[in-house]
Amino acid sequence: KQEVTQIPAALSVPEGENLVLNCSFTDSAIYNLQWFRQDPGKGLTSLLLIQSSQREQTSGRLNASLDKSSGRSTLYIAASQPGDSATYLCAVPVERDDKIIFGKGTRLHILP
């Protein structure tokens, strides 16, 4: 059964720093991996979707990488800003299933 883990559960960094969020999954048979942002009490906003055949996907200051064989994805945030403070979640749809499995998220706090 697919399990998705995000470490750390929470992270605080000073403004301006570059940072990396981690997502690992146990079953490498995935179509893709999607990163989301969630602000407190709000819905999820899609940030990046990286296909299983891709290594990287970039959007502005965000860069997501995927290493399917090792079951890992990272979300790199460059030059962090206080507005980046949110919870970041990763999700994988499983090839042998029609379901989607989410990690529990990393709660990011950017210190001004």
Long-range contacts of 44-53 (CB under 8 A, 24+ apart): 44/89, 47/75, 47/88, 48/75
State the Cα–Cα distance between residues 64 and 58, nearest whole angstrom. Answer: 6
Which amino acid belongs to residue 109? H
Nearer residue to other proteins within complex by CB, 18 or 104: 104
Please state the closest distance from residue 27 (CB atom) to other proteins, in A: 14
Least Å from the CB of residue 31 to other proteins: 4
Which positions touch other proteins (CB under 8 A)? 31-32, 34, 36, 41-46, 49, 89, 91, 93-94, 97-105
Q: Which residue, 29 or 111, has its beta carbon nearer to other proteins?
A: 29
